């Protein structure tokens, strides 16, 4: 089977969409399929092209058997909204043109959260007369309103809402990453038989720590004897990382607690500015690092802080960083409601939840875990067991592949 996959993010980028797409397509290649990924020059989240790449109109490489086609885009940093929309549109246009010159696939897949990648996939599926698969990683335009990028639903957002609903119904297969997303698209009139939920996950044993806890803490100036909560990932408008700074300010006289914030993103400079303004010596700020370095920092903290803003939309999402925490047996301190809480607290017993953006509650949870190392160990062990039994990436990739094969078989 020839699979054509449109995605705005792909390794060497290391954000969640890039890693999910790479690990899925790698498994499909291992299963004997021919996979071509259309993406752009790696630049996320700083808007700077990675060393060894250029923002060319068309360049190709092969990564673990996956043919990767990189097209030109209007590259900007992961901040603001207007220029980022131009970035997204440029990818849609360039990717659609590039697809014209590729062999006819058996199936065309587009993945969000960059919605315009799915538009390119839909257009290509129509031109090539092949099935269209929509992998749904984010809800548009709800996510725009949830992060405050726009304050109210104007004409443009209402039009976008109608168009997204149209795309849902156009898909021969919808692959949402949460069951909440599945319920949302069903309300838009999508046949439930066309929906297959494939959550995020991680493959146990494929990610290794290459430095000790003591080495990493020394490298970044993290106190060796403190109980450390770490947020490691994109510092975006959705994440509510300022809650950590509020907690740090309230516990600045408690030397037993320390906080690590690692990443790049739209809110990074604001977070740095607030930390300087409040003179928070109990916070270690680290710019985004290559994936292995980020994993090493995760290995050096005591608990993984997983946060989103306190808005109803985020009750429907599952941050992928919870699976990395589970893999490395880190208790999860979760500031997210809804489906994420059900997974962490009710189903896997891998951590503790608190009300999103409630710094006092987060402090109480951290102090409770600090004083109960045996409970921390149980949460960590439960998380690792859950990854192995429920969220193994190879099995999730196989589930999605089986759904794709059924669609292709039904179309032929």
Question: What's residue 76's pLDDT?
Answer: 85
Q: 230 - beta bridge partners?
A: 260, 304
- Of 4-8, 273-277, 368-372, which range is least confident? 273-277
Q: What is the pTM of this model?
A: 0.90
**Residue with the larger pLDDT of the pair 412 and 406:** 406
Q: In what order do the strands lie in the sheet with 351-353?
A: 283-286, 257-262, 227-232, 303-307, 332-335, 351-353
pLDDT confidence bin for 150, thresholds 50/70/90: very low
Question: What's residue 79's pLDDT?
Answer: 65
Question: What's residue 221's pLDDT?
Answer: 97
pLDDT confidence bin for 146, thresholds 50/70/90: very low
CB atoms under 10 Å from CB of 214, counted, come to: 11
The residue ranges of every structural domain in the chain are 2-201+392-411, 213-390
Helix axes 242-250, 268-278, angle to 10 degrees: 10
**pLDDT above 70 (res 316):** yes
The phi and psi torsions of 257 (rounded to 5 degrees) equal: -110, 140
Structure tokens that stand for 65 in this block = 């058997």
% of the chain beyond a pLDDT of 90:
79
pLDDT confidence bin for 140, thresholds 50/70/90: confident
- Asked if the domains at 2-201+392-411 and 213-390 fall in one CATH topology, the answer is yes
Q: Domain 213-390, what fold?
A: Rossmann fold (3.40.50)
Sequence-separated (6 or more) residues with CB below 8 Å from residue 128: 4, 99, 104, 105, 108
**pLDDT above 80 (res 277):** yes
Q: What is the mean pLDDT of residues 312-335?
A: 93
**pLDDT above 60 (res 78):** yes
DSSP 45-71: TTT-PPTT----SEEEEEETTEEEEEE
Contact assessment for residue 373 and residue 303, using Cβ atoms and an 8 Å cutoff: no
Q: What is the mean pLDDT of residues 338-359?
A: 96
For 2-201+392-411, which CATH superfamily applies? Answer: Glycogen Phosphorylase B; (3.40.50.2000)
pLDDT confidence bin for 133, thresholds 50/70/90: very high
pLDDT confidence bin for 144, thresholds 50/70/90: low
Contact assessment for residue 137 and residue 320, using Cβ atoms and an 8 Å cutoff: no
**pLDDT above 50 (res 149):** no
């Amino acid at each position: 089977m020839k699979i054509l996959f449109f995605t705005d993010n792909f390794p060497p980028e290391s954000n969640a969409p890039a890693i999910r797409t790479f690990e899925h397509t790698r498994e499909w290649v291992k299963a004997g399929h021919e996979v071509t990924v259309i993406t752009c020059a790696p630049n996320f989240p700083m808007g700077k092209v990675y060393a060894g790449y250029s923002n060319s109109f068309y360049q190709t490489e092969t990564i673990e058997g996956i043919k990767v086609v990189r097209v030109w885009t209007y590259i900007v940093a992961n901040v603001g909204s207007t220029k980022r929309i131009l970035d997204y549109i440029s990818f849609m246009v360039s990717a659609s043109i590039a697809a014209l010159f590729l062999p006819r696939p058996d199936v065309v897949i587009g993945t969000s959260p960059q919605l315009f990648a799915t538009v390119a996939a839909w257009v290509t599926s129509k031109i090539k007369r092949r099935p269209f698969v929509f992998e749904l990683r984010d809800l548009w335009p709800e996510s725009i309103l949830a992060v405050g990028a726009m304050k109210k639903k104007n004409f443009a957002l209402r039009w976008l809402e109608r168009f997204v609903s149209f795309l849902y119904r156009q898909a021969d297969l919808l692959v949402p990453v949460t069951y909440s997303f599945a319920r949302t698209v069903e309300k838009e009139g999508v046949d439930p038989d066309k929906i297959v939920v494939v959550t995020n996950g991680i493959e146990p044993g494929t990610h290794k720590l290459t430095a000790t806890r003591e080495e990493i803490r020394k490298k970044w100036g993290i106190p060796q004897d403190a109980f450390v909560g770490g947020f490691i990932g994109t510092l975006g408008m959705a994440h509510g990382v300022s809650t950590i700074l509020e907690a740090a300010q309230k516990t600045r006289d408690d030397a037993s607690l320390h906080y690590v914030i690692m990443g790049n993103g739209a809110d990074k400079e604001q977070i740095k500015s607030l930390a300087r303004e409040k003179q928070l010596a109990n916070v270690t700020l680290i710019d985004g690092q290559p994936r292995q370095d980020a994993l090493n920092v995760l290995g050096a903290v005591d608990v993984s802080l997983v946060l989103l803003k306190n808005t109803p939309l985020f009750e429907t999402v599952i941050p992928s960083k919870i699976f990395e925490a589970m893999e490395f047996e880190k208790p999860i301190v979760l500031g997210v409601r809804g489906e994420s809480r059900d997974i962490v607290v009710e189903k896997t017993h891998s951590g503790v939840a608190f009300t999103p953006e409630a710094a006092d509650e987060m402090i109480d949870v951290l102090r409770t875990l600090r004083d109960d190392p045996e409970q921390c160990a149980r949460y960590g062990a439960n998380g690792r067991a859950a990854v192995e039994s429920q969220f193994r990436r190879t099995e999730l990739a196989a589930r999605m592949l089986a759904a794709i094969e059924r669609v292709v078989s039904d179309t032929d």
